[in-house]
Every structure is written in C-alpha cells, then in structure tokens.
Amino acid sequence: MNEQNLNPKLFEGEVEQVPTRDGYGQGVVALGEKNPNVVVLTGDLSESTRANMFQEKFPERFIEVGVAEQNMMGIAAGLALSGKIPFVSSYAVFVPGRCWDQLRVSVCYSKANVKVAGAHAGISVGPDGATHQALEDIAIVRCLPNIIVEVPCDALEAKKTTIAIGEYTGPSYFRFHREKTPVITTQDTSFKIGKAEIFREGENVTVVACGPLVYQSLLAAKELEKEGIKAEVINNHTIKPIDKLTLAASAKKTGAVVTVEEHQINGGLGGAVAEVLAENYPVPMERIGMPDSFGESGQPNELLEKYGMSVKKIKEAVKSVLKRKK
Amino acid sequence: MKIGEPQDHLGHTHIEILEKTANAIRQDIIKMLLEAGSGHSAGPLGMADVFTALYFSVLNHNPKNPKWEDRDRLVLSNGHIAPVLYTTLAHAGYFSREEALGTLRKLNTRLQGHPHVGSLPGIENSGGPLGQGLSQAIGMVLAAHMDSKKYWVYCLLGDGEQDEGQNWEAIMFAGKNKLFNLTAITDRNNIQIDGMTENIMPLEPLREKYESFNWHVLEVDGHNIQEIIDACNEAKAIYEKPVMIIAHTIPGKGVDFMEFDYHWHGKPPKEDEAKMALKEIRTLKGKIISEHE
Ligand SMILES: [Mg+2]
C-alpha cells in the first residue's frame, strides 16, 4: 500500500495547505451543533486559536477568561464537574505551560472531562521566537495520569481529532499549529484515538512521525525509495495511550526506527516510542526533533532546516540507523 | 431540624442543636487526627462552626443522593482542612463516623489526606494545592447559568492561600461577570504555615481588595453560627455581585493550647494532647459566644 488512503495530490507541487488550527475551529463548531454541553473557553486568544468560529455560532457557550490560564483551567474543571464539555483554547506554551498544576490536580486527578487545545505548537510558529514555540508540551502532559495526548497531522485530522476528543469522556490534550501545512489525509482516511496508522508500507526501516512533519516523513520515504530503501511511515497521532501493537509489529518487521516530531527529542514522541520498543522489541533507533535546545526567530522552513527537522535530516537519520541494523 | 431547607427564623433550640453538632465535630476532628497520626489541627477546629452552619442549615443538599443535580455545591479550596469536611459530611450522613474516624490518611481509604473528588460521596472538588478552588466554583456557577439551574455555589478559602495569584484571577472574573449565585467564605484566622499572614505576606486591607474587584463583602464572627447563617442568607439577596464573607476565626478554636498558635497549622495532637483537647472541648459550653446567649 502506497498512500492509497491519503490525498492523491499529496506529492504534487500544488498540494492544498491549511493550518491545523482551522480543523480545531471546524471541529468545535461541529461538536457544538450536536451537543449543547460543549463549551469553549479562551484566554484572550479567540481568533488565533480559531475559538472565534465557535464564539460566533454559540456566544452563550463561549467564555472569555482574559489572560489568566490558571483560572481558565480551573473554570473548565468546574464546568466539567457540572456536566459540561469544556474546550480550553490558548497557545500550547500557556496551556499546559502556564497551568500545569491546575491541569494535574483540578483536571487529571479529578478525571474532569476537560479538553485542552494547545495552539501554535512546535518551532514552526517561527518569527515569534523561542518564548512562543511550544516544544515541551507533549512531555509535560503525557507524564500525567488519566489524560490522553493527540497530535493531528493535518487540518482534516485536526477536525476529526477534535470531534473524537469531544465524544470521548475524560481529560484530553491536543496540539495544533499556526502555519498552513499540506493536507495529507482525506475524509476517508481512518482515524481512531489510540490507533497509529501506517500511511506507507515498507520493510527496511520504520519512520514514526506525528503532526505536520508526517508530510516531510512521507517525502523522505518517497525519495529514499529511489535509493532502494523502503521506509514504512506511521502517523502516530495518539502519543498517549500509545499504540504498542502497531509500533512493535512494525519494528519487528523492519528492524530499525526513526522518530520525527516538532518537539524536544526528550520526553516527546521519540521518548514514548523508545519506551515502548525498549520494553517490547528493541531495535536501533534515531530521534528527529528539537535537539535539547530552545528555538529562535526565523521562518518556519528555515527553523526546521536549522534544527534538523527537514526531509534531508530524516533521510540522513534513516541511513544512519540502517548502518546500525544487525 | 430539617437538612436541606433554608432556615429564615431560627429559634434558640435550633442554634443550640447546631452548637452541639459543632462541638461533636470538634471532638471527632481530634479523634481522627490522633488515629491518623498526621494532618492539620488548627484550621479544621477553627472552621467547625462555619461547616456546621453550612451543612446543617444553609446548604440545599441531600446526603442520601450526593449527586442530585440541583444540590448546592461546596468547593473546598484549602483542602488541608479536610478533617473538618470529612467529620461534617459523616455527621450529615454521607458515610459512617466509623469510616471517618478510623481510616483518614490510611492505605486504601476513601478519606485521602486532601480531598479527592470521586473517592468519597459529598466531595465536589479535588484540592490541596492552594488557590485552585474559586476557579472551579466559578465553573460550577457558569454551568448553572447555562442550564438555568438555581443552585448556589459556596467556596471556602483559607487566608494564607490568597497569596496565590490564581485567586485574584478568579476574583476578577467573578466580579466582572456579576456571579451572584457564588458565595465565597474566607477563613480569616491570620495564620499560615510559616507564621502570621501579615508577616509572611500581608493581605490587609482585605475587605477593600475584594470590594475594589466588585464583590460585596460581609464580615462575621466565624464562631457565631447565627451570624454565619444570617450572612449566607443576606448573600442570597445580593443580585448584582458575588459575595465574600470574611469569617474571623480563631485557629485551633476550642483547645486552649492550640488557639492562635501557628505551629498547630500542620500537625496532629499526640495521645496526651488529644486527651487534654477532648476534655476542653467537652466542657466548652458557654465559651463560644453566640448572639442568643
Ligand atoms: Mg490561615
């Protein structure tokens, strides 16, 4: 199977590009139409998180909290404990970054049905610089009990994720991105919380990616094929609970793994995959991600290039891990 | 006495019954802390009268149906005073006194060191890390507004915990949104772990702070059950603003050697101390002054 369930125009120059945050806005509106208990909160970031799409349709269920993320997370917990399904919308550097204790105690410990939407994740936020590039959010959330963590790869999947999270009962965190990124999937691409999807089959190496870098991973796999390397590409959108079966089976099949994410290499997808494989099926592995460093201002593509999250670096990592393969 | 119905006219008998309940709650606090071997003494004893007034007169609740959707909510922000919440809930009939006195802080208990929602009937929020209660209470108020529910939300706060900035975010929000069905009660006992609040981080002028955030403020003697009930009723008549009741309390109230001593904030009595404390509490009658006396 070569990308048969994906966007047929995926590798054309003019592939459609949409920011994943648009998927969030569409998703909460769809949920709001179906369920009157869906509520959206924001901390002075209505438009840039796309929470405004919900605000326009359901002003009576939209809550503006001001620049006060700790209070926002607590209000969301109180709403959830009263039967509401609140979506907390802000930048991922602030939710969970600014209110981790509130997320831990008021939400996760209480199993409050709060949905945390972290926008502007990753280094591709670009010119705003290191302060606004969330590169630690996956690590600090996935260590908490009772919460699931999702990283959709494109706008369509972001919408599916938002809807699935709204229909799932329990604390949830998901991140999305500011910039337009390629639409990788179609309406028909299967999506299920907790199920990693094999987007391209291969037998020499497995590339496990999440978020918009799934696209770069697919590009790398396509180019590697010309060199005789068949890479399997897995869209691992659910970081927690992680799909151990799919990951271990692929590692067993290919014998080498590369992880790709817009997050610190420590504690994110790479860490989660390493944990699974070390316990279930250890194979040589390399991690692509932010190399334990803060970002800086720049254009998204320049930053991905400089900090080693480009197609070129993915290919290099694949070749490097193949050398270590027994 | 009927639980769950607002009391407008209270006779002496009613207040006397409530005072006896508060006294029994104080005794149980001492007993449960002795059995647990750790926990907080001063705050729970100081809040026994407020808890009695709330659960035996003010709150519209049903211990036989803890999740009744129209119930009034009580959010405890300073979770470390859990012993007074647990003993009051047990006296109100949410679970047995035996469980309350025998299992606090022990392995597999439903009475966690700090309250955990979901573990025990009657608990509305998980709390302990300070400053998190008022925001959750606000969430419950907003849910009531969206569902056109008439329930009231009470939030109990410590004074020391108001060093936390989150409280002020929440106070600002509640004032802006005129959350009239929110009544917060501050346990103004002037102590926190490291010493007196005014030395650690001054809160005064506290009344003016709340007022400038557009809250209505009432002040009561936190050991006068009648005054506490009256203030809660008065709060229900304020339609334009959330209400903060500053309850002036004495930490460790009822036990001479604990009163006003911040060292008793975070430790339980030893066996001989518990004996002395229980003796004092049992002969307390007349020392806690109510208006009717
Ligand atoms: Mg205090």
pLDDT tens digit sequence for B143-165:
999 999 999 999 999 999 999 99
DSSP output for A184-210: -B-TTS---TT--EEEE--SSEEEEE-
Mean pLDDT of A12-26: 94
Q: In chain A, which residues have their Cβ closer than 8 Å to the Cβ of B74?
A: none
Mean pLDDT of chain B: 93
Instruction: For residue B292, tell me if it sits in a domain.
Output: no
Cα A148 to ligand 1 centroid, rounded to whole Å:
37
**Residue-level pLDDT at A5:** 87
CB B144 within 8 Å of CB B151 = yes
From the list B166, B160, B171, B247, the residue with the least C-alpha distance to B203 is B160
> In sequence order, which residues have a C-beta less than 8 Å from that of residue A154 and are 6 or more positions away?
A18, A20, A23, A181, A182, A183, A184, A185, A212, A214, A215
Contact A61 B146 (CB under 8 A): yes
Question: Would you say residue A188 has pLDDT above 80?
Answer: yes
Question: Would you say residue A68 has pLDDT above 70?
Answer: yes
Q: How far apart are CA A23 and CA B107, in angstroms?
A: 45
Question: Would you say residue B19 has pLDDT above 90?
Answer: yes
Say yes or no: ipTM exceeds 0.85. Answer: yes
> In sequence order, which residues have a C-beta less than 8 Å from that of residue B149 and are 6 or more positions away?
B69, B70, B143
Tokens of A1: 């199977």
Q: Which helix (H) or strand (E) holds A180?
A: strand A180-182
A70, A73, A78 ranked by CB distance to B137: nearest: A78
Q: In chain B, which residues have their Cβ closer than 8 Å to the Cβ of A106?
A: 125-126, 132, 135-136
Cα B42 to ligand 1 centroid, rounded to whole Å:
9
Cα B267 to ligand 1 centroid, rounded to whole Å:
14
Q: How would residue B283 be classed by pLDDT, with cut points 50, 70 and 90?
A: confident
Mean pLDDT of B154-181: 98
Instruction: For residue B67, tell me if it sits in a domain.
Output: yes
* Residue of A39, A44, A75 best to disrupt the B interface, most CBs of B under 10 A: A75
Q: In chain A, which residues have their Cβ closer than 8 Å to the Cβ of B144?
A: 82
Q: How would residue A1 be classed by pLDDT, with cut points 50, 70 and 90?
A: very low
Q: Which of A75-84, B8-17, B257-266 has the lowest mean pLDDT?
A: B8-17
Question: Would you say residue B3 has pLDDT above 80?
Answer: no
DSSP output for A84-104: -EEEEEEETTTTTTT-HHHII
Name the one residue in this structure whose structure tokens are 């025998």.
Answer: B102
Contact A109 B142 (CB under 8 A): no
Q: CA of A133, closest CA in chain B: separation in Å?
A: 24
**Residue-level pLDDT at A326:** 77
Strands lying side by side in the sheet with A172-175: A62-64, A38-42, A85-91, A115-119, A172-175, A148-150, A238-240
Q: How far apart are CA B146 and CA B129, in angstroms?
A: 28
Instruction: For residue B291, tell me if it sits in a domain.
Output: no
Question: Would you say residue B5 has pLDDT above 70?
Answer: no
Q: Could you tell me if residue A142 is left (phi over 0), alpha (psi between -120 and 50 degrees) or otherwise beta?
A: alpha
pLDDT tens digits, residue range B78-115? 999 999 999 999 999 999 999 999 999 999 999 999 99
Pairing relation of β-strands A231-235 and A205-209? parallel
- With an 8 Å Cβ cutoff, is A106 touching chain B? yes
Cα A284 to ligand 1 centroid, rounded to whole Å:
56
Question: Would you say residue B8 has pLDDT above 60?
Answer: no
**Residue-level pLDDT at B82:** 97
Tokens of A59: 């002003």
Contact B139 A86 (CB under 8 A): yes
Q: How would residue B289 be classed by pLDDT, with cut points 50, 70 and 90?
A: low
Contact B142 A75 (CB under 8 A): yes
Tokens of A123: 């280094």
Pairing relation of β-strands B73-76 and A285-290? unpaired
Instruction: For residue B91, tell me if it sits in a domain.
Output: yes
**Residue-level pLDDT at B4:** 41
- For helices B165-176 and B133-146, the axis angle rounded to 10 degrees is 20
Q: CA of A151, closest CA in chain B: separation in Å?
A: 27
Q: CA of B168, closest CA in chain A: separation in Å?
A: 9
Instruction: For residue B3, tell me if it sits in a domain.
Output: no
Q: How far apart are CA B282 and CA B274, in angstroms?
A: 12
- With an 8 Å Cβ cutoff, is A207 touching chain B? no
CATH number of this structure's domain A3-13+188-325: 3.40.50.920
- With an 8 Å Cβ cutoff, is B172 touching chain A? yes
Model's pTM, two decimal places? Answer: 0.96
- With an 8 Å Cβ cutoff, is B252 touching chain A? no
Domain residues for B121?
14-282
Contact B146 A109 (CB under 8 A): no
Q: Which helix (H) or strand (E) holds B182?
A: strand B182-188
Query: Where do the domains of chain A lie?
Result: 3-13+188-325, 17-182
Q: Report the residue of chain B nearest A102, measured CA to CA.
A: B132
Mean pLDDT of A129-141: 97
Q: CA of B136, closest CA in chain A: separation in Å?
A: 4
Cα B43 to ligand 1 centroid, rounded to whole Å:
7
B291: which strand partners?
A: none
Domain A17-182, CATH 3.40.50.970 — does that match?
yes
Tokens of A193: 């919380």
Mean pLDDT of chain A: 97
What DSSP state is assigned to residue B193?
T
- For B39-149, list the strands marked E by DSSP: 73-76
**Residue-level pLDDT at A13:** 82
* Residue of A44, A73, A81 best to disrupt the B interface, most CBs of B under 10 A: A81
Q: CA of B138, closest CA in chain A: separation in Å?
A: 6
Question: Would you say residue A251 has pLDDT above 70?
Answer: yes
- With an 8 Å Cβ cutoff, is B175 touching chain A? no
Q: In chain B, which residues have their Cβ closer than 8 Å to the Cβ of A81?
A: 117, 124-125, 136, 139-140
Torsion of CA A272, A278, A280, A283, to 10 degrees: 110
Catalytic residues of A, by residue number, are: 69
- With an 8 Å Cβ cutoff, is A310 touching chain B? no
- With an 8 Å Cβ cutoff, is B110 touching chain A? no
A 152-171 → B contacts, CB under 8 A: none
Q: How would residue A151 be classed by pLDDT, with cut points 50, 70 and 90?
A: very high
Contact A70 B142 (CB under 8 A): no
Q: How would residue A126 be classed by pLDDT, with cut points 50, 70 and 90?
A: very high
pLDDT tens digits, residue range B21-35? 999 999 999 999 999
Contact B139 A75 (CB under 8 A): yes
Q: How far apart are CA B56 and CA B23, in angstroms?
A: 13
Q: How would residue B40 be classed by pLDDT, with cut points 50, 70 and 90?
A: very high
Instruction: For residue B59, tell me if it sits in a domain.
Output: yes
Please say whether the dihedral angle defined by the alpha carbons of residues A264, A90, B133 and B199, taken in this order, is positive or negative: positive
Question: Would you say residue B288 has pLDDT above 70?
Answer: no
Question: Would you say residue B7 has pLDDT above 90?
Answer: no
- Number of separate domains in chain B: 1
Instruction: For residue B1, tell me if it sits in a domain.
Output: no
- Tell me, what CATH number does B141's domain have? 3.40.50.970
- With an 8 Å Cβ cutoff, is A84 touching chain B? yes
Contact B132 A86 (CB under 8 A): no
Q: How far apart are CA B51 and CA B55, in angstroms?
A: 6
- With an 8 Å Cβ cutoff, is A90 touching chain B? no
**Exposure of A326 by Cβ count < 10 A (0-12 exposed, 13-18 middle, 19+ buried)?**
exposed
Cα B167 to ligand 1 centroid, rounded to whole Å:
15
Is the pLDDT higher at B266 or at B245? B245
- With an 8 Å Cβ cutoff, is A260 touching chain B? no
Mean pLDDT of A242-247: 98
